[in-house]
A and B are shown apart, each in its own frame.
Chain A
Amino acid sequence: MQTMAQITMRYLPLVLLALVWEAAARLHVVDTSALPPLSKVAVAWFDLMRDGELINNGAASLYRGSAGLLLAVIFGGGLGLWMARWRLLDVFVNPLVELFYPLPKSALIPVTVLWLGFGDGSKILLIFLGCMIPVTIGAYNGARGSDHVLVWSARSMGAGRLRMMWDVVVPSALPELLNGVRTALALAFILLVSSELIVSQKGFGYLIGYLGSTGSYEGMYAVVLTVAFLGFAADRFYQLLMQWLLQWRE
């Protein structure tokens, strides 16, 4: 176990950075409109929380992000598992996966807007399409590595297709599948924030853009830091979830 002192020592550089930020802004080393003091950013954060702006826009973003990611995990994971089990699907779909894998996903932003407009639908579709491929690849690689002996013995003991999928293939594919979902989680945040920055009427990205264009930079910094923190927290939380899900393996 890490002691309190060790943890403090480890994260001390972040505290130092925050102090340098505050000092640089207070002593006017830098222009305060470009870099407002951290304490003022904190005040702006509480203001945004109190009048509900941060919560309302955050809820919109959270809904879009989790809906898109959930669809990507269900469909992407399913596709990857079936591709690994069914050769014909593999031969014909794998080239398409390989074709779309290197596509910089941000290129899909204008198309989803063209199809579904500025609202929730276009963001959910964007995140679904963008996040599906890493999940598919993770599920596929994981399921292909599953032990043939296990599959054969399950089959000889009379397991049906679905039963075997759930009891044998999914557990053995889980580590790589979960890693694919982790990539997708990071990608979901990037796509969410950037699409909201570029075209949106609510959400974190919209709020950042709006506060920036009205010149309330303290508020803009507060929202940017909130999003950055949420992305970091989501990843840490997901890592804990992964550990818990993979406990049985050792």
Chain B
Amino acid sequence: MARVEDTSSLSAAEAVIARDAARRFDAVRRLDLVFRGGAGLFSILLLLVAWELFARSGKVTPFMLPAFSAVVERIYSDALTGDLWRNLGLTMYRALTGFVIAAVGGIALGALMSRNRIVRWFFDPIISVGFPMPKIAFLPIIILWLGLYDVSKISIVVFDAIFPVVTATLAGIAAVDTELIWSARNMGASERELMWQIKLPAALPQILTGLQVALPIALIVAIIAEMAMGGYGLGGAMMTASRFADSRGVFAGIVEIAIVGYALIKAMTLVRRRLLAWHEETAERT
């Protein structure tokens, strides 16, 4: 709407017409959004109802597919006994600690590589060869070195999640407008100030994209590590349930993990919008 208000050069009549058109356009768009949102909720509900009906129809055994209501019941009782919170807390702790270490370390390494030629020479082939590798294959080696505890789970998360952060930071800094850097230098910025006040903020959109790639990886890997090593945590609990042929437990795990994944990714989008409030990308979306 603000765009239309700013029409001092138009005559009054034209401004009114423009405002009406914009309002109508906004109304149509809002209607479309409501329609899409409604249809979205509807199709998710439809999926859940279909699940419930199919599970109860007797075409599949409750072992193959327990009813959705039974799964919800299971989650509820796990929440009451506190199992759910313990498992959830541990998984989040492992995934998010690994993610934060990978984020800080990845940005630091990317920034160092962009500034120092020797660091860059050394890490460049390691990053470009390591990025496409399935690093989860190294899990048994990390277990061999660090044992079956949280340290090894967090380490494999860091090892997997750091690559997209480093490459995004490098690419982001390389793409910073050179005129921006020249003018900052001209105004007497030191190399340190240049990095903190110009390069990193200007590269922030790409760095955040790297973090948005790294976050789901951290979650996937944390759950795989828990499944492979057993014990508590959402992945470990699912594996135990699967060993005891407790299919309600397995499906409860999927629903819980799906909700956690959805919430984390949405939170990350909000953080992005917040941090980039100054960036034109955010303005376009409103």
Complex CA distance for A198 and B122, rounded to whole angstroms? 34
Q: Quick check: which of A77-85, A143-151, A166-174, A187-195 contacts chain B, the rest being far away?
A: A187-195
- Given A13-B125, A96-B43, A103 contacting B140 (CB threshold 8 A): no
Which of A21-29, A43-51, A66-74, A217-225 touches B?
A217-225
Residues 195-238 of chain B: 1 if any A CB is under 8 Å from the residue's CB, otherwise 0? Answer: 00000000000000000000010011101100110000011001
Contacts of B122 in A (CB 8 A): 13
Q: Are B247 and A114 in contact (CB under 8 A)?
A: yes
Q: Which of B64, B126, B132, B138 has the most CB of A within 10 A?
A: B132
**Bound: A224/B139 CA distance, A:** 9
Query: A104–B134 contact, CB under 8 A?
Result: no
Q: Is A162 an interface residue (CB 8 A)?
A: no
Q: Tell me the smallest distance from the CB of A229 to a CB of chain B, in Å.
A: 8
Flag if A111 contacts B250 (CB, 8 Å).
yes
Do A95 and B39 contact each other (CB < 8 Å), given the known contacts A102-B216, A108-B254? yes
Quick one: CB contact mask for B82-120 with A, threshold 8 Å, 1 for yes? 000000000000000000000000000000000000000
A229 / chain B contacts, CB cutoff of 8 Å: 133
Closest CB of chain A to B50's CB: distance in Å? 11
* Cα–Cα, bound, A111→B216 (Å): 20
Q: Are A194 and B136 in contact (CB under 8 A)?
A: yes
A209 to B141, CA, bound (A): 10
Binary contact track A1-45/B, C-beta < 8 Å → 1, others 0 = 000000001111110010000000000000000100000000000
Structural contact, B257 and A228, CB atoms closer than 8 A: no
Is B12 located at the chain interface by the 8 A CB criterion? Answer: no
A56 at the interface (CB under 8 A from B): no
Q: How would you classify the secondary structure of chain B's contact residues: helix, strand, loop or mixed?
A: helix
The answer to whether B145 and A34 have CB atoms under 8 Å apart is: yes
State how many residues of chain B have any CB contact under 8 Å with chain A: 58
Is A248 an interface residue when CB atoms closer than 8 A count as contact? no
- CA separation between A107 and B220, bound complex, in Å? 8
Total contacting residues, chain A, CB less than 8 A: 56
**A205, B253: Cβ atoms closer than 8 Å:** no
Name the one of B132, B137, B235, B241 contacting A204, with C-beta atoms under 8 angstroms.
B137
Task: Report yes or no: B220 in contact with A105, Cβ–Cβ below 8 A.
Answer: yes
Contact A228 B121 (CB under 8 A): no
Kindly provide the distance from the CB of A210 to the nearest chain B CB, expressed in whole angstroms.
Answer: 10
Q: Could you give, for residues 138-170 of chain A, a 1 whenever the CB lies within 8 Å of some chain B CB and a 0 otherwise? A: 000000000000000000000000000000000
Secondary structure at the A interface, as helix, strand, loop or mixed, is helix
Instruction: Tell yes or no: B262 within 8 A of A by CB.
Output: yes
Interface string of A91-125 (1 = CB under 8 A from B): 11111101111111111111101110000000000
**A189-B134, A197-B228, A212-B140 given as contacts; is B254 within 8 A of A107 (CB)?**
yes
Encode contact with A along B233-249: 1 for CB under 8 Å, 0 otherwise: 01100110110010100
Q: In this assembly, does B129 line the interface, its C-beta being within 8 Å of a C-beta of chain A?
A: yes
In the assembled complex, B76 has its CB within 8 A of some CB on chain A: no
Neighbouring B residues of A209 by C-beta, 8 Å: 140
Q: Which single member of B39, B235, B245, B251 contacts A106 (CB below 8 Å)?
A: B235
The distance in angstroms between the C-alpha atoms of A53 and B29, with both chains bound, is: 60
Whether B134 and A103, one on each chain, are in contact in the complex, defined by CB atoms closer than 8 angstroms, is no
Contact B39 A115 (CB under 8 A): no
Identify which of A93, A105, A212 contacts B144 (C-beta below 8 A).
Answer: A212
Contact with B257, one of A103, A221, A224 (Cβ below 8 angstroms): A103
- Contact, CB under 8 Å: B129 / A111: no
User: B223 contacts which of A17, A99, A106, A221 (Cβ < 8 Å)?
Assistant: A106
Partner of B261, one of A9, A94, A103: A103
A106 to B216, CA, bound (A): 11
**Which chain B residues have a beta carbon within 8 Å of chain A's beta carbons?**
35-36, 39-44, 46-47, 63-64, 121-126, 129, 132-141, 143-145, 216, 219-221, 223-224, 227-228, 234-235, 238-239, 241-242, 245, 247, 250-251, 253-254, 257-258, 261-262, 264-265
A–B complex contacts, Cβ < 8 Å, 21 sampled: A13-B125, A91-B43, A92-B39, A95-B39, A95-B44, A96-B44, A102-B264, A106-B221, A107-B235, A107-B258, A110-B227, A110-B250, A110-B253, A114-B63, A186-B134, A194-B139, A208-B140, A220-B141, A227-B137, A234-B132, A236-B132
